[in-house]
Structure 1
């Protein structure tokens, strides 16, 4: 069975249907996918990319800057990571850290 053709501008190596990188264009997420399972997969993937070290705290600004490299909506992705329980934050939102190991960890 032949692999599905890659969409124009897609990240190389992201040909498989379950790979969240298929939603990235030139390495960045333009819009969050509509399907719930795709949203979860993309959020899990981006959490590992932005916060590669589990439990390492970073400031809100640092996380937003990292996510800006990965998405056109860094605040939306940050909220999604918190909503999905991948990332915790201090009560005042000053620091964030990843709390969950995912299938995208090395």
Structure 2
């Protein structure tokens, strides 16, 4: 039996409302946070996000050298690998003109 998970999500969302389970100020911060929290705890990922500070903007991260990014996210653990993953994500996100709305249109 195939499930329509988006329908289930919509029903739950309509009934319970937004749950605010992910502490992010923007969709972009949530996407980067999802990479940073892999294989670590949220406290370490949050430190890395804090270290990025006002540089947590798609265009800035896209232009930032990988080594600089790695140093800023060091607290997240596996920082060199995560910097590579973030840079790979940024190459794809740039194709979408750094727009979450453009990503939604591709479904």
Which range, TM-score by smaller chain? 0.3 to 0.5
Larger strand share, 1 or 2: 1
| TM-score relative to the length of structure 1 | 0.35
TM-score, length-scaled by structure 2: 0.35
Quick check: which has more Rg, 1 or 2? Answer: 2
Q: Which structure has the highest helix share of the two?
A: 2
